[in-house]
Amino acid sequence: MNHARLIHLVAHRGNAGEFPENTIPAFASALEFGLRFLELDVHISADGVPIVIHDHDLIRTTGRPGCVFDLRARELVMIDASEPERFGERFRGTRIPLLSDVLSLLERRPEVTLFVEIKRASLIRFGYDQVVARVVNTLKPARAQCVVISFDLAAVHRVRQIGGMPIGWVLSAYDAHTRLKFEALQPEFLFVDHEMLPAQGALWRGPWRWAIYEVESLGLAQALAARGADYIETMAVHPMSDAMRNLQQPVHAPPGA
Protein backbone atom coordinates (compact mmCIF):
# COMPACT_ATOMS: atom_id res chain seq x y z
CA MET A 1 0.00 0.00 0.00
CA ASN A 2 1.09 3.55 -0.63
CA HIS A 3 -0.11 7.09 -0.41
CA ALA A 4 -1.56 6.89 -3.95
CA ARG A 5 -4.26 4.47 -2.77
CA LEU A 6 -7.72 5.68 -3.77
CA ILE A 7 -9.58 7.47 -0.97
CA HIS A 8 -13.37 7.34 -0.80
CA LEU A 9 -14.84 10.29 1.10
CA VAL A 10 -17.90 9.79 3.30
CA ALA A 11 -19.85 12.93 4.27
CA HIS A 12 -20.29 12.63 8.05
CA ARG A 13 -23.83 13.89 8.74
CA GLY A 14 -23.63 15.47 5.28
CA ASN A 15 -21.53 18.55 4.65
CA ALA A 16 -21.78 19.29 8.37
CA GLY A 17 -18.88 21.71 8.29
CA GLU A 18 -20.88 24.29 6.35
CA PHE A 19 -24.52 23.35 6.96
CA PRO A 20 -26.60 22.17 9.92
CA GLU A 21 -25.74 18.52 10.43
CA ASN A 22 -28.10 15.73 9.37
CA THR A 23 -30.29 18.06 7.30
CA ILE A 24 -31.33 17.96 3.67
CA PRO A 25 -29.16 20.99 2.76
CA ALA A 26 -26.11 19.28 4.32
CA PHE A 27 -26.66 16.08 2.32
CA ALA A 28 -27.47 17.94 -0.90
CA SER A 29 -24.30 20.01 -0.55
CA ALA A 30 -22.15 16.88 -0.15
CA LEU A 31 -23.65 15.45 -3.34
CA GLU A 32 -22.95 18.73 -5.15
CA PHE A 33 -19.28 18.38 -4.20
CA GLY A 34 -19.27 15.01 -5.92
CA LEU A 35 -19.35 12.71 -2.91
CA ARG A 36 -21.10 9.40 -3.39
CA PHE A 37 -21.11 8.30 0.23
CA LEU A 38 -23.31 9.90 2.89
CA GLU A 39 -23.62 9.05 6.59
CA LEU A 40 -26.47 9.95 8.92
CA ASP A 41 -27.88 9.14 12.36
CA VAL A 42 -31.32 7.77 13.14
CA HIS A 43 -33.54 7.90 16.22
CA ILE A 44 -37.16 6.80 16.54
CA SER A 45 -40.07 9.16 17.23
CA ALA A 46 -42.83 8.51 19.75
CA ASP A 47 -44.97 7.03 16.97
CA GLY A 48 -42.22 4.79 15.62
CA VAL A 49 -40.92 6.81 12.66
CA PRO A 50 -37.16 6.92 11.89
CA ILE A 51 -35.94 10.50 12.34
CA VAL A 52 -32.57 11.83 11.12
CA ILE A 53 -30.86 13.41 14.12
CA HIS A 54 -27.76 12.62 16.17
CA ASP A 55 -28.90 13.52 19.69
CA HIS A 56 -32.21 12.34 21.12
CA ASP A 57 -32.11 15.56 23.16
CA LEU A 58 -33.13 18.41 20.87
CA ILE A 59 -31.29 21.29 22.50
CA ARG A 60 -27.94 21.23 20.66
CA THR A 61 -29.24 21.24 17.09
CA THR A 62 -32.56 23.04 17.57
CA GLY A 63 -31.94 25.35 20.50
CA ARG A 64 -35.14 24.19 22.20
CA PRO A 65 -35.67 21.66 24.99
CA GLY A 66 -37.32 18.35 24.34
CA CYS A 67 -36.69 14.73 23.39
CA VAL A 68 -37.24 12.94 20.10
CA PHE A 69 -38.80 10.01 21.95
CA ASP A 70 -41.61 12.16 23.35
CA LEU A 71 -42.77 13.73 20.09
CA ARG A 72 -44.55 12.36 17.03
CA ALA A 73 -42.97 12.55 13.60
CA ARG A 74 -45.39 15.25 12.42
CA GLU A 75 -44.28 17.41 15.35
CA LEU A 76 -40.58 16.75 14.86
CA VAL A 77 -40.52 17.71 11.18
CA MET A 78 -41.87 21.16 12.11
CA ILE A 79 -38.93 21.87 14.42
CA ASP A 80 -36.14 24.15 13.21
CA ALA A 81 -32.83 22.24 13.18
CA SER A 82 -30.63 25.10 12.01
CA GLU A 83 -28.08 24.80 14.85
CA PRO A 84 -28.57 28.40 15.99
CA GLU A 85 -25.69 28.24 18.45
CA ARG A 86 -23.29 27.48 15.60
CA PHE A 87 -24.87 29.34 12.67
CA GLY A 88 -27.11 31.98 14.24
CA GLU A 89 -30.01 32.84 11.92
CA ARG A 90 -28.25 31.81 8.72
CA PHE A 91 -30.17 28.57 8.17
CA ARG A 92 -33.35 29.39 10.01
CA GLY A 93 -36.24 27.29 8.70
CA THR A 94 -34.15 24.17 8.10
CA ARG A 95 -36.17 21.28 9.50
CA ILE A 96 -35.46 17.91 11.05
CA PRO A 97 -35.84 15.36 8.22
CA LEU A 98 -37.41 11.94 8.25
CA LEU A 99 -35.22 9.09 7.07
CA SER A 100 -37.62 8.72 4.13
CA ASP A 101 -36.95 12.36 3.19
CA VAL A 102 -33.22 11.67 2.83
CA LEU A 103 -33.92 8.56 0.75
CA SER A 104 -35.57 10.82 -1.82
CA LEU A 105 -32.11 12.27 -2.56
CA LEU A 106 -31.02 8.81 -3.75
CA GLU A 107 -33.70 8.63 -6.44
CA ARG A 108 -32.10 8.52 -9.88
CA ARG A 109 -28.70 8.50 -8.13
CA PRO A 110 -27.79 4.79 -8.12
CA GLU A 111 -24.12 5.63 -7.55
CA VAL A 112 -24.83 7.04 -4.07
CA THR A 113 -24.44 4.89 -0.94
CA LEU A 114 -26.04 5.83 2.38
CA PHE A 115 -24.63 4.71 5.73
CA VAL A 116 -27.44 4.75 8.29
CA GLU A 117 -26.38 4.69 11.95
CA ILE A 118 -28.94 3.42 14.45
CA LYS A 119 -28.38 5.21 17.75
CA ARG A 120 -28.18 3.24 20.98
CA ALA A 121 -30.54 5.44 22.97
CA SER A 122 -33.42 4.52 20.65
CA LEU A 123 -32.60 0.83 20.96
CA ILE A 124 -32.74 1.14 24.74
CA ARG A 125 -35.96 3.16 24.73
CA PHE A 126 -38.00 1.18 22.19
CA GLY A 127 -36.29 -2.23 21.99
CA TYR A 128 -34.12 -3.83 19.35
CA ASP A 129 -36.83 -5.61 17.39
CA GLN A 130 -39.01 -2.54 16.94
CA VAL A 131 -36.21 -0.11 16.10
CA VAL A 132 -34.40 -2.39 13.66
CA ALA A 133 -37.65 -3.38 11.95
CA ARG A 134 -38.72 0.26 11.54
CA VAL A 135 -35.39 1.30 10.05
CA VAL A 136 -35.10 -1.72 7.75
CA ASN A 137 -38.67 -1.29 6.48
CA THR A 138 -38.07 2.39 5.75
CA LEU A 139 -34.91 1.58 3.81
CA LYS A 140 -36.50 -1.12 1.65
CA PRO A 141 -37.11 1.10 -1.41
CA ALA A 142 -33.38 1.94 -1.49
CA ARG A 143 -31.94 -1.16 0.17
CA ALA A 144 -29.40 -1.71 -2.63
CA GLN A 145 -27.85 1.66 -1.78
CA CYS A 146 -27.91 1.43 2.02
CA VAL A 147 -25.62 0.10 4.74
CA VAL A 148 -26.93 -0.03 8.32
CA ILE A 149 -24.33 0.66 10.99
CA SER A 150 -24.31 1.03 14.78
CA PHE A 151 -22.08 1.00 17.83
CA ASP A 152 -24.42 -1.71 19.09
CA LEU A 153 -23.27 -5.14 17.98
CA ALA A 154 -26.62 -6.83 18.65
CA ALA A 155 -28.39 -4.26 16.50
CA VAL A 156 -26.27 -4.79 13.39
CA HIS A 157 -26.48 -8.55 13.89
CA ARG A 158 -30.28 -8.21 13.94
CA VAL A 159 -30.16 -6.13 10.74
CA ARG A 160 -28.24 -8.93 9.05
CA GLN A 161 -30.84 -11.46 10.16
CA ILE A 162 -33.88 -9.59 8.85
CA GLY A 163 -32.64 -6.87 6.54
CA GLY A 164 -30.74 -8.49 3.72
CA MET A 165 -28.44 -5.50 3.40
CA PRO A 166 -24.79 -4.79 4.26
CA ILE A 167 -23.91 -3.91 7.85
CA GLY A 168 -21.16 -1.98 9.59
CA TRP A 169 -20.03 -2.04 13.20
CA VAL A 170 -18.78 1.21 14.73
CA LEU A 171 -16.01 0.22 17.12
CA SER A 172 -15.74 1.53 20.67
CA ALA A 173 -12.19 0.15 20.93
CA TYR A 174 -9.46 -1.18 18.66
CA ASP A 175 -8.14 -4.13 20.63
CA ALA A 176 -7.88 -7.91 20.57
CA HIS A 177 -11.22 -8.46 22.32
CA THR A 178 -13.03 -6.30 19.78
CA ARG A 179 -11.22 -8.07 16.96
CA LEU A 180 -12.57 -11.44 18.10
CA LYS A 181 -16.09 -10.04 17.92
CA PHE A 182 -15.88 -8.57 14.44
CA GLU A 183 -14.05 -11.58 13.06
CA ALA A 184 -17.03 -13.65 14.24
CA LEU A 185 -19.56 -11.16 12.85
CA GLN A 186 -17.77 -10.59 9.51
CA PRO A 187 -19.43 -7.22 8.80
CA GLU A 188 -19.01 -5.60 5.42
CA PHE A 189 -17.71 -2.41 7.08
CA LEU A 190 -15.84 -1.43 10.22
CA PHE A 191 -15.92 2.19 11.42
CA VAL A 192 -13.46 3.61 13.92
CA ASP A 193 -12.29 7.01 15.15
CA HIS A 194 -8.72 7.57 13.95
CA GLU A 195 -7.70 8.53 17.48
CA MET A 196 -8.45 4.97 18.65
CA LEU A 197 -5.91 3.49 16.27
CA PRO A 198 -2.30 2.73 17.17
CA ALA A 199 0.21 5.25 15.85
CA GLN A 200 1.38 2.97 13.06
CA GLY A 201 0.91 -0.41 11.44
CA ALA A 202 -1.52 -1.88 8.94
CA LEU A 203 -5.17 -2.16 9.90
CA TRP A 204 -6.42 -5.67 10.59
CA ARG A 205 -7.31 -7.33 7.33
CA GLY A 206 -10.43 -9.29 6.53
CA PRO A 207 -13.48 -9.26 4.25
CA TRP A 208 -14.57 -5.93 5.75
CA ARG A 209 -13.68 -2.44 4.59
CA TRP A 210 -12.33 0.16 6.99
CA ALA A 211 -14.01 3.55 7.36
CA ILE A 212 -12.06 5.94 9.55
CA TYR A 213 -13.84 8.97 10.93
CA GLU A 214 -13.08 12.38 12.46
CA VAL A 215 -10.55 13.02 9.69
CA GLU A 216 -10.18 16.61 8.53
CA SER A 217 -6.84 16.76 6.70
CA LEU A 218 -5.67 15.25 3.45
CA GLY A 219 -2.34 14.24 4.98
CA LEU A 220 -4.03 12.15 7.64
CA ALA A 221 -6.39 10.65 5.07
CA GLN A 222 -3.47 9.60 2.89
CA ALA A 223 -1.62 8.09 5.83
CA LEU A 224 -4.70 6.09 6.85
CA ALA A 225 -5.24 4.93 3.28
CA ALA A 226 -1.65 3.69 3.20
CA ARG A 227 -2.43 1.60 6.31
CA GLY A 228 -5.47 0.00 4.70
CA ALA A 229 -8.36 2.43 5.14
CA ASP A 230 -10.88 2.29 2.32
CA TYR A 231 -13.17 5.14 3.38
CA ILE A 232 -12.48 8.43 5.12
CA GLU A 233 -15.42 9.96 6.95
CA THR A 234 -15.32 13.72 7.39
CA MET A 235 -17.42 16.75 8.21
CA ALA A 236 -14.90 18.90 6.33
CA VAL A 237 -16.41 18.01 2.97
CA HIS A 238 -15.51 21.22 1.15
CA PRO A 239 -11.79 21.49 2.03
CA MET A 240 -11.20 17.75 1.79
CA SER A 241 -12.82 17.39 -1.61
CA ASP A 242 -10.97 20.47 -2.88
CA ALA A 243 -7.64 19.13 -1.62
CA MET A 244 -8.21 15.81 -3.32
CA ARG A 245 -9.19 17.43 -6.59
CA ASN A 246 -5.99 19.49 -6.44
CA LEU A 247 -4.09 16.22 -6.36
CA GLN A 248 -6.13 15.09 -9.37
CA GLN A 249 -7.32 12.16 -7.29
CA PRO A 250 -10.91 10.90 -7.53
CA VAL A 251 -13.04 11.60 -4.45
CA HIS A 252 -15.32 8.62 -4.95
CA ALA A 253 -15.71 5.17 -6.41
CA PRO A 254 -18.45 2.55 -6.31
CA PRO A 255 -18.17 0.10 -3.35
CA GLY A 256 -16.99 -2.74 -5.58
CA ALA A 257 -14.07 -0.80 -7.02
Q: Say which CATH number the domain at 58 has.
A: 3.20.20.190
157 found inside a domain: yes
3 found inside a domain: no
255 found inside a domain: no
Question: pLDDT-based confidence at 248, cuts 50/70/90?
Answer: low
pLDDT value, residue 256: 47
Residue 145 CA from chain centroid, whole number: 13
45 found inside a domain: yes
Inform me whether the pLDDT recorded for 238 exceeds 90: yes
| Amino acid at site 214 | E
Give the length of the chain: 257
Inform me whether the pLDDT recorded for 50 exceeds 90: yes
257 found inside a domain: no
pTM attached to this predicted model: 0.94
pLDDT digits 0-9 by tens, 159-216: 999 988 999 999 999 999 999 999 999 999 999 999 999 999 999 999 999 999 999 9
Question: pLDDT-based confidence at 246, cuts 50/70/90?
Answer: confident
Contact 121, 43 (CB under 8 A): yes
183 found inside a domain: yes
Residue 46 lies in domain: 8-246
Strands 113-118 and 50-52 come out as: unpaired
pLDDT digits 0-9 by tens, 56-89: 999 999 999 999 999 999 999 999 999 999 999 9
**Total domains in the fold of the chain:** 1
171 found inside a domain: yes
pLDDT value, residue 4: 56
212 found inside a domain: yes
| Amino acid at site 147 | V
Question: pLDDT-based confidence at 252, cuts 50/70/90?
Answer: low
